[in-house]
Amino acid sequence: MPIAVCCDNVAMPKHWKTKLIHSDVRVPEGYRSLTTPTYRGSTVLFPDAAAVTDAWDQYEAGYTYGLYGSPTTLELAERICELEEGHRTIITPGGQCAISMINLALLKSGDHTLVPESIYGPNRKFANDVLRRFGAQVTYYQPTIGGDIARLIQPNTRLIWCESPGSITMEIQDIPAIAEAAHKAGALVVMDNTWSAGVYFDAFAHGVDVTMQALTKYVGGHSDLLLGSITVKDASLYRALGAVQQLLGCAASPDDCSLALRGMKTLAVRLEAIGSSALAVARWLADRPEVELVLHPALETCPGHELWQRDFSGATGVFAFVMQKDVPKDRVMKFVNSLKLFKIGYSWGGVTSLAVAYNFSYYKNRPSYQHRIVRLNIGLEAMDDLLADLQQAFQASAG
């Protein structure tokens, strides 16, 4: 193939400053690689003056503006959608952004939403601080309520949020029963499906209308990006969400999308390794004298374990355990501080094991685990080394 590198068909002479902006170089065509190119850009070029439009739906209008997605962003969106088997996916700059966009797109003043007590903390804070300020009503429900949620549905209930397992306390929800009650009353079911990475729980087959994930966690997989996804089951929900993304201006970075596309390629092997280590660590903890309860969905001690067996096809690497009732707070803190391989920090789903101690003493309507609950994120370290680390931390915190 000829390599035409410079100055073909130069129509008009140019100052070097103009050449910096309007170059005539051409590079060979036909490069084929295994990687999706990273298309960055705010401006998108139109073929002529009449073609200019600010339409956000790039599937209908073609590319119009970087905010609505470049080919890199849309490839990630389509690939998440393919895995979740939804209608369309929108990529957002983080999981929390996906949560707020869903609320702002699907609720209005006077509407009512039901939110599980076990929802991710900032999701709850958004409901309390923003939704209520804008005149929406919020009621919290016990995550294990199942079909009894029908009792809490009001004529103005528009959205029922679910997250399964719940954040930190890990309750598995009866999503089909909740969806049946919701749909009978004309309400939508939205699920935070981050824990299952969108693959171990088939949300749309279980009656969910809208899912979101923090791609920051397992899809990214290396603790080096923030992204979210919203997947919808039909075109009218896509229109509602797409229009709000445009107006909120929530653009995801194509560079982060490129990293997420790379992360997707190893998602299966990472989840398999992380999931089997996490289960082994959970079983080991269940036998420790210092531990009262292990909250891992694959163990019978986890609330809703039988629903996990019925509805999920696997378990990932985040779970919690509760120390015995006589373990004081400073000993829990000393245990976490004594860990060497497990690091202390938020945002799970990466390759590094993490530990965070939580204090539930001040939460009404949450299980009475007080200061005794520790959440672990299992990474890709050798499992025996993780067990040795936990063992030495129990010993160090005993004295």
Ligand X SMILES: Cc1ncc(COP(=O)(O)O)c(C=O)c1O
Interface with ligand X (CB under 6 A): 94-96, 120, 167, 192, 194, 214, 216, 226, 228, 346-347
153 vs 320 by CB, closer to ligand X = 320
Closest approach of Cβ 24 to ligand X, in Å?
Answer: 43
Closest approach of Cβ 192 to ligand X, in Å?
Answer: 5
Closest approach of Cβ 98 to ligand X, in Å?
Answer: 8
Closest approach of Cβ 212 to ligand X, in Å?
Answer: 7
Closest approach of Cβ 100 to ligand X, in Å?
Answer: 10
Which residue minimizes CB distance to ligand X?
95
75 vs 192 by CB, closer to ligand X = 192
153 vs 159 by CB, closer to ligand X = 159
Closest approach of Cβ 22 to ligand X, in Å?
Answer: 39
142 vs 216 by CB, closer to ligand X = 216
167 vs 397 by CB, closer to ligand X = 167
303 vs 397 by CB, closer to ligand X = 303
28 vs 121 by CB, closer to ligand X = 121
Closest approach of Cβ 103 to ligand X, in Å?
Answer: 13
> Quick one: three-class SS letters along the chain?
CCCCCCCCCCCCCCCHHHHHHCCCCCCCCCCCCCCCCCCCCCECCCCCHHHCCCCCCHHHHCCCEHHHCCHHHHHHHHHHHHHHCCCEEEEECCHHHHHHHHHHHHCCCCCEEEEECCCCHHHHHHHHHHHCCCCCEEEEECCCCHHHHHHHCCCCEEEEEEECCCCCCCCCCCHHHHHHHHHHCCCEEEEECCCCCCCCECCHHHCCCEEEEECCCCCCCCCCCCCEEEEECCHHHHHHHHHHHHHHCCCCCHHHHHHHHHHHHCHHHHHHHHHHHHHHHHHHHHCCCCEEEEECCCCCCCCCHHHHHHHECCCCCEEEEEECCCCCHHHHHHHHHHCCCCECCCCCCCCCCEEEEECCCCCCCCCCCCCCEEEEECCCCCHHHHHHHHHHHHHHHHC
